[in-house]
Structure 1
Amino acid sequence: MKVIAYDHYGPPNVLRLKEVPKPSPKIGELLLRVRAVEVTKADCELRSFRFPVHWFWLPLRLTMGITKPRRQVLGSYFAAEIEALGEGASKFEVGDRIFGTAHLRLGAYGEYLCLPETYPLVTMPSNLSFEEAAAVPLGGLNALHFMRLAEIEQGESVLINGAGGSIGIFALQIAKDLGGHVTAVDRSIKEGMLRQIGADHFIDYSKSDFTKSDQKYDVIFNMVARVNYSAAIKCLKPGGRWLSGNPQFFHLIKPFLTNLFSDKRAITKFAGEKEEELIALKDMIEAKRIKPVVDNVYPMEEAVLAHQRVENEDRLGAVVLTMGRAK
């Protein structure tokens, strides 16, 4: 089978097609025929081993490989068909179309992948293609996790900093579905797309700093690593909630003081990416309450271009690779 592999850290052109043996499912595993996979910022960061947040660099390097990657095939969020069942696997049937995550096991940048059936894997929404379904798990699972923690009530004001990313796009839609009045912060190139999926207001961060405005919000969801935490907290109304999906190390410490000495809440609980959440997303998508936004679809032979597209920050939605279709 073909995979997109890399054997050393570096720029997008370290990615290459490679032939490897087709895997066989072990006890309790599923053999998946991967059809589409989202190319994420995390994929690009693991490939280059350059991260905007530095505090987890050492433990991650020890886990993923000190001098070269231990797992040479990236890809965590995908859509696939079940080709075979390992002994004891009974959750799905051969031929089922599913979507979900491989977590840090990775491997979805290949035509086939074996995963335990206990992983967050759910049959795909009936109204999505493989490419659209692959664009859901990363953004959807993380956004749903944080929007539930935010406890948004009807009519509350919500600011999403980094609204044009994979997670921000779903957070915006879920916040709107919960009754929030949403301000999206991102680059000007993304304004049209963000308004189309429900943004009530838009701030171009290159022209205006929301932390220097007099506007106050009930909820701020931050997906930008380098943000002035103290200034942002001042933008919350009394009783307001701050949530960070991409925290710097001090963003893990300062919330304790915020919660202890103010009437505001700062929440930094990491997403667990649970099956129940994936089912909830599927239901919301089939009810047409939220939807994935796909920027571009590339064949696996163009993985380098896909990584470049993600890194240049001009994408309007998810970038997706199809596995094994191009000749």
Structure 2
Amino acid sequence: MKAIVYERYGPPDVLQLREVAKPVPKDDEILIKVYAATASAGDWRLRKADPFLARLFNGLWRPGKIKILGFELAGVVESTGKSVTRFKPGDAVYAACGYGFGAYAEYKCLPETGGVGPMPANMTFEEAAAVPVGACTALQFLRKGNIRRGSRVLVYGASGSVGTYAVQLAKYFGAEVVGVCSTLNVELVRSLGADRVIDYTKERLSDEGTAYDIIFDTVGKSPYKVCVKRLKPEGFYLQAVRVSPLPIIRGLWTNLTSGKKVTGESMKDSAEDLIFLKELIETGKLRSVIDRRYSLEQVAEAHRYVEQGHKKGNVVISVRQVDDEKRTGGCTPLTPD
């Protein structure tokens, strides 16, 4: 099968199209014929070994156990292990691959008990591939923040993958939502349901006097002291991105010295969350935002774009041509290919 492989850490050009062995599912696994994946921050950071500590996870000098990136996917079950009961061949699924990655390939084996769920019926494979990581991350963090009707929520990085889902999910839960983004993305964030949008190129968060129940930093760029100050006495500061020890140390100190809570735990693969999100998507309460689409052969180019840090929502990798024309969906890319 075709796959994008990298043998050394470095720039996007280390990603090479290769022929590799097609995987065989174990007794508790399903073999997925992959139609679409995404290019995410997690992918380029592991490719680049940024932060350096990533090397402790995947090999100090060169990539070890993970040589095929791709954190999430959508596709069709081709075959199943003998003990699998949740899925059968022909089922359309979407999934988070967990820390094994591997979605940049024509086939991927995943355990049926992992983060795999039936795909929303009203989405294309490309739209669905953009859901499992970003939406599950947003959902799990908002729950950690004890979100409820009437909560006042600020989403920092509201136009990114996690941010676009966080805005929509916070509104679904009945919160008052303020999004923070750049000028180019103000209308997008507003269209997702934000009650107000702060353009960080024109306004400073420190000048804003609102007290929040939840401040959700989806990109790791929010001003720490300002955000803690803007929290209510028992508010939650949620940090989806921590690439150095400093935010962890600061968070522990805030937790020990005040009633405010700072948390930055990683997303957990959850079939239950994917089923919940599927229901929201099929009832029109949640949608994926796709910025650009690239072919499998163009993964290096996709990484180069994503690494710039200015994508809107998600960047999708079309692994193969869709042969199921019934999955037409309704989402078009914000930026044509």
Name the TM-score class by shorter chain. Answer: over 0.9
Alignment of 1:186-265 (within 5 A): 186-247=181-242, 248-265=244-261
> Is the counterpart of residue 267 in structure 1 residue 263 in structure 2?
yes
Q: Which amino acid aligns with 1:129?
A: T
- Within the candidate set 115, 118, 135, 2:110 is matched to 115
> Is the counterpart of residue 25 in structure 1 residue 25 in structure 2?
yes
- Unaligned 5+ segments in structure 2 are 323-337
Alignment of 1:79-158 (within 5 A): 79-158=74-153
Distance 1:150 1:98 in 2: 29
Alignment of 1:30-49 (within 5 A): 30-49=30-49
Distance 2:171 2:76 in 1: 32
Q: CA deviation at 1:250?
A: 3.2
Q: Which residue of 2 aligns with 1:8?
A: 8
> Is the counterpart of residue 285 in structure 1 residue 284 in structure 2?
no
Conserved 8 A contact 1:299-1:325: no
Instruction: Give the TM-score normalised by the residue count of structure 2.
Output: 0.89
Alignment of 1:60-79 (within 5 A): 60-70=54-64, 71-79=66-74
User: Aligned-residue CA RMSD in angstroms?
Assistant: 1.8
- SS of aligned partner of 1:279: helix
Q: Which amino acid aligns with 1:306?
A: A
Distance 1:154 1:32 in 2: 38
- SS of aligned partner of 1:47: helix
Distance 1:205 1:273 in 2: 32
Q: CA deviation at 1:206?
A: 2.8
Q: Could you list the per-position Cα deviations for residues 226-279 of structure 1 after superposition, in whole angstroms to 9, with x for gaps in the alignment?
A: 443222111112332221111342332333443343333333333223111111
Q: Against the structure 1 CA distance between its residues 313 and 259, is the aligned structure 2 distance closer, same or farther, given a 3 Å change threshold?
A: closer
Conserved 8 A contact 2:161-2:312: no
Q: Could you list the per-position Cα deviations for residues 272-310 of structure 1 after superposition, in whole angstroms to 9, with x for gaps in the alignment?
A: 231111111111111111111111121111112211221
Q: Which residue of 2 aligns with 1:313?
A: 309
- SS of aligned partner of 2:163: helix
Q: Could you list the per-position Cα deviations for residues 85-127 of structure 1 after superposition, in whole angstroms to 9, with x for gaps in the alignment?
A: 1222222110000011111111110001112222111110111
Q: Against the structure 1 CA distance between its residues 304 and 257, is the aligned structure 2 distance closer, same or farther, given a 3 Å change threshold?
A: closer
Distance 1:261 1:104 in 2: 34
Q: Which residue of 2 aligns with 1:54?
A: none
Q: Could you list the per-position Cα deviations for residues 54-107 of structure 1 after superposition, in whole angstroms to 9, with x for gaps in the alignment?
A: xxx43x312211111122110121001111112222221100000111111111
- SS of aligned partner of 2:86: coil
- SS of aligned partner of 2:301: helix
Q: Against the structure 1 CA distance between its residues 270 and 72, is the aligned structure 2 distance closer, same or farther, given a 3 Å change threshold?
A: closer
Q: Which amino acid aligns with 1:299?
A: S
Q: Which amino acid aligns with 1:43?
A: D
Conserved 8 A contact 1:142-1:273: no
> Is the counterpart of residue 172 in structure 1 residue 187 in structure 2?
no
- SS of aligned partner of 1:195: helix
Q: CA deviation at 1:205?
A: 2.0
Distance 1:133 1:309 in 2: 21
- Unaligned 5+ segments in structure 1 are 52-56
Conserved 8 A contact 1:125-1:286: yes
Conserved 8 A contact 1:30-1:116: yes
- SS of aligned partner of 1:145: helix
Distance 1:263 1:118 in 2: 37
Distance 1:256 1:46 in 2: 26
> Is the counterpart of residue 161 in structure 1 residue 164 in structure 2?
no
Distance 2:226 2:296 in 1: 43
Q: CA deviation at 1:191?
A: 1.2
Q: Which amino acid aligns with 2:223?
A: N
Distance 1:237 1:62 in 2: 38
